[in-house]
Amino acid sequence: MLRVSVFDDAGVGTATLRKAEREASRVFRRANIDVIWLECPQNSSAQISFGRCLEVSFPEHLELRIALRSRDAKTSTLGMSFQSGDGQGCYADLFYESTLELQTESHIGAAIILGHAMAHELGHLLLGTNSHATGGLMRAHWGPGDLAQAAKGNLLFSLEESKRMRSRFTRDNSDEIAALVQENRTAPGSPF
């Protein structure tokens, strides 16, 4: 289960944002990951009462901020994620003006583009550094064919990407279990 705090700084609007979240949820469900979207208030006094929006923790709770535009990225950049050197991060930004420009060029709905961009940037956070792929949802730049696949619901994570993301949520504790079994074997009066 993935929780995502969403901050709509660009004023996308409730209807488009909900459609985009449903689209991103559908993409993640195909990767066997369920998403809970937390709609977060914009002003800081209201955020106090919504503390859950600010309580991010990798990988279970991430933050997605939708800005109107980027100050530093190219105008064609739809978003960016922020990670430390070890590939962990909780924060991603999307740029709504770039989404609207791509909508005009491609004639694909803004909610579909935004939803796939949401899944893409959250995918970066869950996959770690160097997670662009040669095809599919994690391709660095989407062309007309990719957007056509998005409109059909076929722009998805690969099976390997899905597996890697899911592994972030399940910690392998087999070494701990083996150590406990060994400890019990050597303990006096142990049934082993």
pTM for this entry: 0.84
What domain count does the chain have? 1
Which pLDDT score is estimated for 122?
A: 98
Does residue 163 lie within any of the structural domains? yes
User: What's the CA gap between 86 and 77, in Å, rounded?
Assistant: 24
Which pLDDT score is estimated for 51?
A: 63
Which pLDDT score is estimated for 95?
A: 96
User: What's the CA gap between 43 and 66, in Å, rounded?
Assistant: 15
Strands 79-82 and 91-95: antiparallel
Does residue 192 lie within any of the structural domains? no
Residue 70 sits in a domain of what CATH number? 3.40.390.10
Which pLDDT score is estimated for 70?
A: 86
Does residue 32 lie within any of the structural domains? yes
Q: What is the pLDDT along the chain (192 residues), one digit of tens a residue?
A: 999 999 999 999 999 999 999 999 999 999 999 999 999 987 655 444 456 888 899 999 999 999 999 888 777 799 999 999 888 999 999 999 999 999 999 999 999 999 999 999 999 999 999 999 999 999 999 999 999 999 999 999 999 999 999 998 875 444 443 444 454 444 444 333
Which pLDDT score is estimated for 127?
A: 96
Which pLDDT score is estimated for 44?
A: 53
Which pLDDT score is estimated for 147?
A: 96
Which pLDDT score is estimated for 11?
A: 95
Does residue 49 lie within any of the structural domains? yes
Which pLDDT score is estimated for 91?
A: 97
Which residues span the domain enclosing 161?
2-186
Does residue 43 lie within any of the structural domains? yes
Does residue 30 lie within any of the structural domains? yes
Which pLDDT score is estimated for 192?
A: 32
User: What's the CA gap between 82 and 91, in Å, rounded?
Assistant: 6
Which pLDDT score is estimated for 145?
A: 95
Residues 93, 95, 96: CA angle, nearest 5 degrees: 135
